[in-house]
Amino acid sequence: MKNKIVISVILSIIIGGYTAISNINSSTQNNEFSIKNGNWKVNPNMDLKDSYQRAYISRIGVFALDDKEALYFLSSKDSDGNPLTSDFDYQISGTPPKGRYWSYTLYGEDYFLVKNDANIYTINKENLTKDKPILVSSSKKDINWLPSGNETKFHITLRVYNPDESVYKNLESLELPIIKKIEK
């Protein structure tokens, strides 16, 4: 009898955890929190009072800043709508939205930094070689390189710190950078 109770409790925890994670994923995939703009999604309100949104943010955005301090544009697809994968190279071109500071960072399917031997994890306003595109590739590039490691799927996060007021007003129509697949 005691074993049945223990097994029932363990199964309940597993099923409850799975259901909670599925609900969080479903909420975000159905764009309940995000605004879509091309292949980018952005969460305009970091509403920590909403339990689903708070759980989602804690799952993928450890130490996320308030929406007044930073906006997080996330893309897991190229400009043709195909998933980002280290099997291909990509070029990010275009200007980030207006703000005090910006950065691009690659995260794996698990939402942790993409592991790479070069220990390069971000391209930002300060380390960008101007007038040259940002290159995302598993093979070394000379400038503006974001290593994609050996990721089956990855995400690019464009952070804009202290965004201009016009950015907030035009999230669906902003001209955002393009992520184009290029031949290796």
pLDDT digits (tens, 9 = 90+) for 33-91: 789 999 999 987 655 555 555 555 555 555 455 566 889 999 999 999 999 999 999 99
Q: Are residues 109 and 177 in the same domain?
A: yes
Distance CA 161, CA 178 (A): 20
Question: Is residue 32's pLDDT more than 80?
Answer: no
Residue of 136 and 58 predicted with greater confidence: 136
139-167 burial, b at 16+ Cβ within 10 Å, e below that, comes to eebeebbbbbeebeebbbbbbbeebeeeb
Other Cβ atoms less than 10 A from the Cβ of 117: the count is 8
Domain count, the chain: 2
Q: Are residues 121 and 40 in the same domain?
A: yes
Q: For the domain that residue 145 is a member of, what is the CATH number?
A: 2.60.120.600
Distance CA 178, CA 79 (A): 6
Distance CA 40, CA 72 (A): 10
99 neighbors 161 (Cβ within 8 angstroms): yes
Angle between helices 2-29 and 51-60 (to 10 degrees): 90
pLDDT band at 17 (very low <50, low <70, confident <90, very high): low
Q: Are residues 71 and 123 in the same domain?
A: yes
Distance CA 165, CA 89 (A): 34
Question: Is residue 129's pLDDT more than 50?
Answer: yes
Structural domain range at position 48:
36-182
Question: Is residue 8's pLDDT more than 90?
Answer: no
Predicted structure pTM score: 0.78
In this prediction, residue 29 carries a pLDDT of 47
Residue-wise pLDDT tens digits, 91-112 = 999 999 999 999 999 999 988 8
Q: Are residues 26 and 81 in the same domain?
A: no
pLDDT band at 171 (very low <50, low <70, confident <90, very high): very high
In this prediction, residue 23 carries a pLDDT of 56
Following CA atoms 83, 154, 127, 184 in sequence, which dihedral angle do they give, to the nearest 10 degrees? -50
Residue of 13 and 146 predicted with greater confidence: 146
Q: Are residues 96 and 16 in the same domain?
A: no
Residues ≥6 apart with Cβ < 8 Å to 58: none
